[in-house]
Amino acid sequence: MPPDTSTAERLDTWSEAGQPAFLRSLDRLRINVGGGTTLHPGNNPVAMATQDSGLEFAKHRPYTPGDDLRHIDWNALARHDTKLVKTFRAEREAPLHLLIDNSGSMASPAGDCKQLAAAALAACLAYISLRNRDPVRVGILDHNGARHIAPLLRHPQRVPLLVQGLASTRASGPTDLESGVAAYLRITRLPGVAIVLSDFLVPPANYQHALHALLASGYQVAALRLLGPGEQNPHAHTRRIRVFDVESRRDRMIDFTPEHRARYRKTLDEHTSGLHSWCKTNGIPFCVIDTGQPPSAAVTRALTGAGVLR
């Protein structure tokens, strides 16, 4: 399938996705990945959970010695001569952790703009989360392990800072999601929602271990697979080509015949579908982001269709 847009157009559109004019169009969206189970009180009500104090009355429960007398429902005691304690709807904050793959594969093919798309999506998701008063933390996964830009971002006005920081990074080095995630988990102990933005071009065991580690740490995980038109339909002007792995620096001679091209597509589809099915099995929302499509399509259709946003 030929690319929908040229490289220059993709650069322009995905660059605009991180700008305030586009972000404002996302005001009505919310992160739909699980619920926050942090201990930190926040402004987000947690379904089926109660707390002793709060703003919104949830239900009564029988008094047990030791309960705070201020929380006894005296009206119920007068009416029914029964000691009941009011409980309120629990409100916790649900931090959003954006784990962005910054390995060399994210910059290849150069025309796919995967790194730019990842940064733009991160900005959009961060904005949505901050608009809903959930903090955001960004983790950059590269061959050095994991780097996070800021401890926590708590205000939508901090999104430009996020965009600026992401723009200064340069994709390089091999992909190792397992090590990167492990390093990130050692840095932060604030479970929340973890959305992994990567091309997942690693052996299945690698990304499976990485996502399992997040799940085991109490995160609600979502996986976004970035895929560009050049990666979907590679095109060469000579039949004999030397494919060069930008991460491992290995190469391989290929006769780029139609048959071999079809075999590559099949391998790619198998890899993507394998990732999808594993995520589905493990309750991880999964979405393929086509960088050849405009950002609005990715955000409003792909992410909402996958249940990452609502």
Partner 1 sequence: MGFINPAAFLLSVFVVGLVLLYLWERNQQRFDVPSLMLWEAIPEPVVRRNRFQPDPLFWLQLAVLSALILGLADPYFAGSDGNNSSRRAILVVDLSASMQAAEGTTTRLELARRAAASVVESSAVGTEFMIVVASETPRTTAEFTSDTRDILHRLDRLAALDTAARLEPALAIARRAANDPERATEVHVFTDVPRETIDERWRRGMYWWPVGASDDNLAIASVEVSQGVLQGHRDATALVGVRNFSRSEKHGALAIQTAGHVFARKLFTLQRETTAYFHFDHIPASGVLVATLANHDALPLDNRSFAWVRPSHPVRLALIAAPSSFADQLRRIAATTDAIEIRADSPTPPEQWSGIDVAVFHREVPAVLPDVPSLLIAPASGRPVRLVNDEGVNRSTTTPQFEVLDWNDSHPTLRGIDPRLFQPFTNIIEVTPPPWSEAVLRTQANGRDLPILLAGEVDKRRRAILTVDLENMNLLSTDRETTLLLLLNLLDWLSRGSEGVRIAETGSSIQLAAAGQRVPTVTAPGGRIVELSRGESPVLQLDLAGLYEVHRESGTTTIAANFNSPRESDIGRPPPRPYRPDGEVSRGEHNTPANGLGAWLYMVGATLLILEWFAAGRVA
Q: Which residues bind partner 1 (CB under 8 A)?
A: 104-106, 108-110, 175, 199, 201-203, 231, 234, 236-248, 250-255, 260, 263-264, 266-268, 271
| Least spacing, CB of residue 98 vs partner 1, in Å | 21
Task: Write down the least CB distance from residue 227 to partner 1, Å.
Answer: 10
Closer by beta carbon to partner 1, 83 or else 276 = 276
Containing H/E element for 186?
helix 177-187
**∠ Cα 33 39 43 (to 5°):** 65
Nearest approach, Cβ of residue 105 and partner 1 (Å): 3
Minimal distance, residue 143 CB to partner 1, in Å = 14
The DSSP code sequence of 148-178 is: ES-S-B-SGGGHHHHHHHHHT----S---HH
CB 217 within 8 A of CB 191: yes
Q: Which is nearer to partner 1, 118 or 308 (CB)?
A: 118
Beta carbon of residue 112, minimum distance to partner 1 (angstroms, whole number) = 9
Closer of 77 and 110 to partner 1 (Cβ): 110
Which of 88, 4, 199 is CA-nearest to residue 13?
A: 4
How many CA atoms are closer than 13 Å to the CA of 182, on its beta-carbon side?
Answer: 11
- In this complex, which beta carbon is closest to partner 1, that of residue 88 or of residue 264? 264
Of 81 and 255, the one with the shorter C-beta distance to partner 1 is 255
Q: How far apart (Å, rounded) are the C-alpha atoms in residues 310 and 306? A: 9
